[in-house]
Amino acid sequence: MGAVAPVPYLEAVERSRLAARAVLERRGAEACLRGKLTGALLALSASCEAEARQTTLCALAERAVVSSDWRLDTMDSTARAILAQPA
């Protein structure tokens, strides 16, 4: 599996927030929501690394992308955490 090409940090934050809202609003099948959220978090993690950022959101993304527990309740709590953090 190849690395995710980094996007600008604020764009990655916005994508993560869009994915988080989609999860909480159940806009799609669980597997699709899982893919949307994990993809957004991978992009955010790559952006944080590329820009040498060390924000709370970066730490959250880094923890999330190494998680193997992506049940719906885990996705919900991750989504709420994303939305609660400033950029």
Spell out the domain ranges in the chain: 9-84
pLDDT at 2: 53
pLDDT at 1: 44
Query: pLDDT for 20-62, tens place per residue?
Result: 999 999 999 999 999 999 999 999 999 999 999 999 999 999 9
Q: Which residues, at least 6 apart from 40, have a Cβ–Cβ distance to it below 8 Å? A: 12, 15, 16, 18, 19, 20
Following DSSP, what letter does each residue of 3-42 receive, concatenated?
PPPP--HHHHHHHHHHHHHHHHTT-S-HHHHHHHHHHHHH
- The whole-model pTM stands at 0.89
Q: Three-state SS for 50?
A: helix
